[in-house]
């Protein structure tokens, strides 16, 4: 068991090292920070001075060492664009993204599970066929198109909902929330739906497949033979077991959703980490880009490692295979 734990953690550390090397490479070689920070007609001496103050005149290995050291102590540098610590920028944007991801996850579960069950219980019914057809359209429609169409209909034509921003937010210590004001909640609806649709199809298909699997198992057949009511069999006995993998996948997908929120945030000008990242890309604001990649990378590695270890704890077969 200890061996599995160590090998998983070692693997996680290795991945993080690779991710950090990649973000350093970006840090160091993408664009010219001096050119983007200095005035249009800065003299050569001014530029050289700036270069020195940023530590860009040191050898690459030394720079990478510095980068790692700084990163581990939580110092991710200062944004070239707005001259503020990157850690602070990300901390400010984090609540917006997490709230969006939370709303999207809740929405996709609330819709995906019933729809998946529906498709599993009556696979050849008209409703199930309609849902299946719609899910194919859902897979084929990119998130940004969904977002644009929603904006066109609900914001531009009908004027019911805001099309950008978070509305009014309430500060709870360092966390700013849009869940407590009416305008904040209204602002969450369209981006929440857009991001949820990306997740919805996946959850629906998964629930359907798991449900069909479980429904054909022995204990369900015995339950039917005992004459238990259908509702009890479907929702109490079958659905509970079908939901196990759904919970795992939903957990694993959270990292994916945070990364994918980049697109939704761009469409709705949602002031989250994704928008911060994309703005950083267009302004070649490397510290922000590198920090974002490190942060999301860390999140991914954390989630994956925890799930892997939990699986190894639960399932001895996996322990034997990976050790």
Residue 125 vs 180, nearer CB to another protein: 125
Q: Could you tell me which of 304, 139, 289, 285 has the C-alpha nearest to residue 205?
A: 139
User: Which ranges constitute the DSSP H helices of the chain?
Assistant: 2-29, 33-37, 44-53, 60-72, 86-121, 126-140, 143-150, 182-215, 218-225, 230-231, 239-268, 273-282, 286-314, 316-322
Q: Which stretch binds another protein (CB under 8 A): 30-38, 64-72, 107-115, 313-321?
A: 30-38
Residue 212 CB, shortest distance to another protein, in Å, is: 5
Task: Find all residues with CB under 8 Å of 35, minimum gap 6, and list them.
Answer: none
3-state secondary structure of 41: coil
What would the two tokens of residue 5 be?
Answer: 């734990």
Binding string to another protein for residues 223 to 262, with x set by CB under 8 A, is what? --------------------------------xx--xx-x
Using rule CB under 8 A, residue 141 touches another protein: yes
Using rule CB under 8 A, residue 29 touches another protein: yes
Rounded (5°) CA angle 148-151-157: 125
Q: Could you tell me which of 166, 162, 115, 117 has the C-alpha nearest to residue 138?
A: 115
Residue 121 vs 179, nearer CB to another protein: 121
**Site residue total, another protein (CB under 8 A):** 50
Q: How far is residue 150 from each of residues 89, 109, 141, 146, 302, measured CA to CA in Å?
A: 29, 20, 13, 6, 34
Q: How far is residue 236 from each of residues 12, 128, 186, 215, 241, measured CA to CA in Å?
A: 38, 21, 35, 12, 9
Using rule CB under 8 A, residue 26 touches another protein: yes
Binding string to another protein for residues 144 to 183, with x set by CB under 8 A, is what? xx--xx-xx---x------x--------------------
Using rule CB under 8 A, residue 293 touches another protein: yes
Q: Which stretch binds another protein (CB under 8 A): 2-10, 64-72, 209-217, 231-239?
A: 209-217
Residue 191 vs 255, nearer CB to another protein: 255
Q: Could you tell me which of 141, 6, 132, 77 has the C-alpha nearest to residue 292?
A: 77
Out of 68, 121, 134, 212, the residue judged to bind another protein by CB under 8 A: 212
Using rule CB under 8 A, residue 63 touches another protein: no
Summarize as ranges the residues that interact with another protein (CB under 8 A). Answer: 11, 15, 18, 22, 25-26, 29-32, 123, 136-137, 139-145, 148-149, 151-152, 156, 163, 205, 209, 212-213, 255-256, 259-260, 262-263, 266-267, 277-278, 281-282, 284, 289, 293, 296-297, 300-301, 304
């Amino acid at each position: 068991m200890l061996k599995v734990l160590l090998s998983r953690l070692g693997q996680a550390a290795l991945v993080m090292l690779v991710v950090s090397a990649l973000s350093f490479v970006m840090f160091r070689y993408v664009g010219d920070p001096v050119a983007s920070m200095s005035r249009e007609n800065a003299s050569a001496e001014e530029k050289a001075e700036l270069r020195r103050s940023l530590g860009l005149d040191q050898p690459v290995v030394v720079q990478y060492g510095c980068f790692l050291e700084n990163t581990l102590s939580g110092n991710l540098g200062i944004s070239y664009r707005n001259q503020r610590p990157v850690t602070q920028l990300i901390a400010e944007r984090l609540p917006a993204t997490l709230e969006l991801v939370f709303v999207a996850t809740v929405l996709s579960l609330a819709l995906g599970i019933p729809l998946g069950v529906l498709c599993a219980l009556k696979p050849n019914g008209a409703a199930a066929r309609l849902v299946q057809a719609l899910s194919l359209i859902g897979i084929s429609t990119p998130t940004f198109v969904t977002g644009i169409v929603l904006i066109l209909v609900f914001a531009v034509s009908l004027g019911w909902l805001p099309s950008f921003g978070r509305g009014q937010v309430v500060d709870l210590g360092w966390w700013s929330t849009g869940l407590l004001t009416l305008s904040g909640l209204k602002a969450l609806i369209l981006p929440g739906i857009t991001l949820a649709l990306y997740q919805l199809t996946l959850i629906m298909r998964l629930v359907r497949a798991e449900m069909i699997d479980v429904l054909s198992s022995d204990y369900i057949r015995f339950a039917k033979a005992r004459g238990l009511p259908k509702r009890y069999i479907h929702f109490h006995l079958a659905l509970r077991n079908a939901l196990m993998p759904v919970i795992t996948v939903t957990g694993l997908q959270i990292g994916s959703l945070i990364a994918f929120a980049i697109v939704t945030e761009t469409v709705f000008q949602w002031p989250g980490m994704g928008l911060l990242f994309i703005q950083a890309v267009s302004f070649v604001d490397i510290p922000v880009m590198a920090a974002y990649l490190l942060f999301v990378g860390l999140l991914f590695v954390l989630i994956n490692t925890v799930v892997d270890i939990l699986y190894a704890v639960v399932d001895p077969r996996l322990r034997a295979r990976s050790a």
